């Protein structure tokens, strides 16, 4: 049975507070995922930048910041501004309509990209999905993925799931549809496919190097994309949430890594009562939080023909990596256990401000830097590094 659930799994209050104290903030950086745009890309510095707004599918104007592609010989060139120095990033804002819902999208294109130059001007793409109750701006601030994108030469998109619904009576849902839960008037799987198509067609994303990552509900949604869009996703990293529904049947083995803290009180590591359930929680929600995180990843490993028992490696005193070997096509499947870690993004600078609300954040590993290093090795066309 599918239900519509409004659960806030995010760092909304902390991130919004930090954002409101910075010159880089905008009025849309609040819970619920608004449709306003940000004027600055996210990094650990305080960059100055430009941004543009457009609607996917609408006619592009002749300005240098609009969504369009210029083909010069065999080279794809997005007309969006791409001459940025490190720390001087520009973010592009547009809205994407899919299945009756409008989704704001924040896109960052790096200034210089040897990776794109080697691929006819096409950029590797990371889709970074936020948690429930959050939005793309907050996710960009939390993960600092735009700074890594500038340094490494890939583009990163931060969609917001708080768009308007086709059913006005259905309200808004600032998150992503999972197999277990339905959001009336929404089809987020169709949205993900359309977003990839739009970024490939209009912004020179490389269709063979599309990667997915996300926090909490965004991590669960990344799991769903591995299940349902394995032919579009080259590799994936799920943070603070990974799920393998009974209906999950990936079309191909997908390189997959998950991070999870053993002291996560929002999405319990070993399953059990979540702080979000409250009294009288519906059985479907109770069952959802009963999922055991290492076991969920193990089911993906079984799908991919891996050896049943993973190999444990101590990364640090508080971090242990479990690697499944012998998988089909030699794809890696890794679970990263963070002893005492909370419902947090490993390596996040903002983690120090979230301990009381969400638990400790390790700095021994980085879900952003290590996640990109893991995903970037793989391509759908077999050109793995």
CB 252 within 8 A of CB 166: no
Judge whether residue 323 has pLDDT over 90. Answer: yes
Instruction: Give the highest mean pLDDT range of 5-19, 131-145, 153-167.
Output: 131-145
Cα separation of 145 and 157, whole Å? Answer: 9
**Could you read off the pLDDT of 103-127 as tens digits, one per residue?**
999 999 998 888 998 899 999 999 9
Residue 279 Cα distances to 53, 274, 275, 276, 283, angstroms:
43, 11, 10, 9, 11
Percent share of the chain, pLDDT over 70: 74
Q: How confident is the model at residue 269 (pLDDT cuts 50, 70, 90)?
A: very high
Domains of the chain: 12-375 (3.40.50.1820)
Per 3-state DSSP, the chain is made up of helix, strand and coil in percentages (nearest 5) of 25, 20, 55
For the CA atoms of 42, 44, 49, 53, what is the dihedral angle to 10 degrees?
A: 0
Distance CA(349)–CA(229), nearest Å, equals: 31
What whole-number percentage of the chain has pLDDT above 90? 60
Give pLDDT, residue 33.
Answer: 29
Distances (CA, A) of 269 to 84, 281, 339: 41, 19, 10
């Amino acid at each position: 049975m599918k239900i519509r659930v409004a659960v806030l799994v995010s760092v909304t209050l902390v991130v919004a507070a930090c954002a409101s104290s910075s010159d880089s903030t905008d009025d849309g950086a609040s819970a619920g995922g608004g449709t306003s745009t940000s004027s600055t890309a996210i990094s650990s510095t305080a960059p100055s930048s430009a941004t543009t707004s457009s609607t996917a599918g609408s006619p592009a104007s002749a300005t240098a910041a609009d969504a369009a592609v210029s083909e010069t010989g065999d080279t794809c060139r997005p007309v969006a501004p791409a001459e940025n120095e490190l720390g001087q990033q520009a973010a592009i804002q547009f809205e994407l309509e899919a299945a009756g819902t409008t989704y704001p999208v924040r896109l960052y294109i790096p200034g210089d990209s040897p990776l794109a130059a080697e691929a006819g001007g096409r950029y590797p793409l990371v889709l970074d999905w936020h948690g429930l109750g959050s939005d793309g701006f907050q996710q960009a601030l939390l993960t600092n993925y735009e700074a890594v994108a500038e340094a490494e030469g890939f583009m990163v998109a931060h969609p917001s799931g708080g768009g308007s619904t086709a059913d006005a009576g259905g309200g808004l849902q600032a998150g992503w549809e999972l197999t277990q839960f339905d959001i009336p008037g929404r089809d987020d799987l169709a949205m993900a496919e359309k977003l990839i198509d739009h970024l490939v067609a209009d912004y020179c994303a490389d269709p063979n190097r599309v990667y997915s990552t996300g926090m909490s509900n965004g991590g669960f949604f990344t799991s769903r994309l591995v299940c349902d869009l394995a032919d579009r996703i080259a590799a994936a990293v799920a943070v603070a949430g990974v799920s393998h529904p009974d209906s999950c049947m990936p079309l191909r083995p997908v390189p997959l890594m998950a991070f999870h803290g053993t002291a996560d009180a929002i999405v319990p590591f070993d399953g059990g009562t979540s702080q979000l359930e409250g009294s009288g929680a519906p059985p479907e929600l109770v069952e959802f939080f009963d999922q055991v995180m290492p076991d969920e990843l193990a089911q993906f490993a079984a799908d991919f023909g891996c050896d049943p028992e993973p190999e444990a490696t101590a990364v640090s005193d508080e971090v242990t990596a479990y690697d499944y070997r012998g998988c089909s096509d030699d794809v890696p499947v890794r679970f990263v256990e963070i002893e005492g870690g909370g419902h947090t993004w490993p390596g996040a600078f903002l983690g120090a401000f979230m301990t009381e609300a969400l638990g400790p954040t390790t700095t021994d590993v980085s879900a952003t830097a290590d996640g990109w290093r893991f995903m970037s090795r793989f391509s759908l066309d077999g050109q793995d590094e």
